Amino acid sequence: MDQPRRQYRRESEQSRRASLIAATQSLVAEGGPQAATVRAIAARAGVTPGLIRHYFRTKDDLTRAAYIALMDGMTDKGADALEGVGAMPEERLAAFVAAGLRPPVLDSAAVGLWAGYMHQVRNDPVLLQVHEAGYLRYRDALEALIAALPREADAAQLRAEAIACNALIDGLWVEGSLLPGSFAPGEIITIGLRSVGAILGVDLLAHSAMVSDTGKKLT
């Protein structure tokens, strides 16, 4: 009557850590930190709970690793957005803004992850540092793109504009991710481009006409 011991495959440390981290992220995204119990994580990753402790000294370690992986991924996506885009400042800024307002960045799970980790980030110095670094990197990239526009602007103005544009993108990101059914396809991107343009006094919509919703250039 006692079933045989579950059979398994040995896998590389790399792939096991990755799948445990992925399981953690998806659980936090769906149900918040409280849903990411060791047992739930193990089940989703297809292993038994004990294995977690084999790869992570403690559950907090896994949590931290999952958050760091999240931030790294976001940064990479930001950099990708400028890949292969023209040299014209308006075009580059438009591509950057649009990239933050469509999947995979604009995604219900991403907002859920971000919210789920907020408290852990606030109470953990290590995560706080990771978070601030990622946040400022994004805002600095935005400010650099704004500074490259053919306008006259002093440092204080650039800073204020970067804060405003960043807030606008963040707000649209949250709105669009949380209420995906309330917006027509591409509506969030259009609103984002028009509003950022209005704040900066340039026309971004005209410079993004050649970029489709998927981010690929139309040919």
Q: Tally the C-alpha atoms within 13 A of residue 150's C-alpha that lie toward its C-beta.
A: 7
125: left (phi over 0), alpha (psi -120 to 50) or beta: alpha
Q: With contacts defined by CB under 7 A, how many residues of the chain interact with DNA?
A: 27
Query: Cβ closer to a second copy: 15 or 123?
Result: 123
DSSP collapsed to 3 states, 151-193: CCCCHHHHHHHHHHHHHHHHHHHHHHHHCHHHCCCCHHHHHHH
Among 22, 51, 65, 191, binds a second copy (CB under 8 A): 191
Binding to a second copy (CB under 8 A) within 128-167 occurs at 132, 135, 160, 163-164, 166-167
β-bridge partners, 211? 217
Please report how close the Cβ of residue 184 comes to a second copy at its closest, in angstroms: 11
Least distance in angstroms from the C-beta of 115 to DNA: 18
Kindly state the smallest distance separating residue 114's Cβ from DNA, in Å: 20
CB atoms within 10 A of CB 72: 12
Q: Is 219 helix (H, G, I), strand (E, B) or coil?
A: coil
Task: Look up residue 104 and give its DSSP letter.
Answer: T
Q: 47 vs 211, which CB is nearer to DNA?
A: 47
Q: Are 76 and 68 in contact (CB under 8 A)?
A: no
Angle of helix 59-81 versus helix 13-31 axis, rounded to 10: 90
Hey, which residues between 200 and 219 contact DNA (CB under 7 A)?
none
Q: In the stretch 96-115, what mask flags binding to a second copy with x, by CB under 8 A?
A: ---------------xx-xx
Site for DNA in 21-50 (CB under 7 A): 36-40, 47-50
Where along the sequence are the contacts to a second copy (CB under 8 A)? 30-35, 111-112, 114-116, 118-120, 122-123, 132, 135, 160, 163-164, 166-172, 174-175, 178-179, 183, 187, 190-192, 194-195, 198-199, 201
